[in-house]
Amino acid sequence: MYISNPIQSNLLYSTPPPTDFKDGMMGSQATMGGNKSGPALPGMENLGDDAIMMGGIEDATEIPAGMEFVAASVPDGEVNFQVAASSKGGQFELEIRPFCMGFEDYFASFTSDSHSSLKVEPCAGRMDRRGGESTFVTIKCKPTGQAGTFTGDLVLNLPEDMSKLSYKVSVVSF
């Protein structure tokens, strides 16, 4: 309990005298003496031109061994396009809008029962977080002279989110 005036001792509490802020609060920066040349984060003292950075975020470029690509029973979308059987092939650029809360690595491939002329590029990458830029994958079909309807299931595995996207792909080669 603080009593500012002993004459007013019948009061239980009164306000202390006003604080003079001209010297500052004398907190953790008080010992720096206004010198702001120290590191902003402890442990970051040796980050100069000669610093060696180790680790960091690495982009996956290959599909991990043992990863399975299984189509969902209800696909997230359908892709249909045409290609001439006598041509070098055709392609379709698929836009995927980000829907996860953070950046997500993805791995893309067709299921094992898909037609062999269907491929996807890139097979691995990082999807932006929700509200960010869309991810584009290119579906390619090289019919090598064959005519008909080529079907497949494109699966994008998102291992960190434990989810996947699945697309039914149908290419008419004429």
Summarize pLDDT for 106-120 with one digit per residue, the tens. Answer: 899 999 999 999 999
Collapsing DSSP states into helix, strand and coil, what is residue 151? strand
Residue 121 is assigned to a structural domain of this protein: yes
Picking from 33-37, 118-122, 143-147, which range would have the lowest pLDDT averaged per residue?
33-37
Q: Say if strands 124-127 and 163-173 run parallel, antiparallel, or are unpaired.
A: unpaired
> What's the domain count of the chain?
1
Count Cβ atoms below 10 Å from residue 67 Cβ, excluding itself: 11
Examine residue 48 and state whether it is found in any structural domain, yes or no. Answer: no
Q: Is residue 40 part of a domain?
A: no
What is the domain extent for residue 111? 77-173
Task: Identify whether 116 is part of a domain.
Answer: yes
What is the Cα–Cα distance from 142 to 120, expressed in whole angstroms?
11
Residue 26 lies in a domain: no
Strands 163-173 and 135-141: unpaired
Task: Give CA separation, 141 vs 42, 106, 110, 161, in Å.
Answer: 54, 21, 12, 29
Q: Does 140 score more than 60 pLDDT? A: yes
Residue 151 lies in a domain: yes
| pLDDT at 142 exceeding the cut of 60 | yes
Task: Determine the pLDDT at residue 111.
Answer: 93
More confident residue, 122 or 41: 122
CATH at residue 155:
2.60.40.10
Q: Is residue 31 part of a domain?
A: no
Percent of the chain with pLDDT over 90: 34
Residue 60, pLDDT above cutoff 80: no
pLDDT for the residue numbered 54: 60
Provide the pLDDT confidence category of residue 35 given band limits of 50, 70 and 90.
low
Three-state secondary structure readout of 67-127: CCCCCCCCCCEEEEEEECCCCCCEEEEEEECCCCCCCEEEEEEECCCCCCCEEEECCEEEE
Residue 101 lies in a domain: yes
Residue 110 and residue 120 in contact, taking contact as beta carbons nearer than 8 Å: yes
> What integer best gives the mean pLDDT of the chain?
79
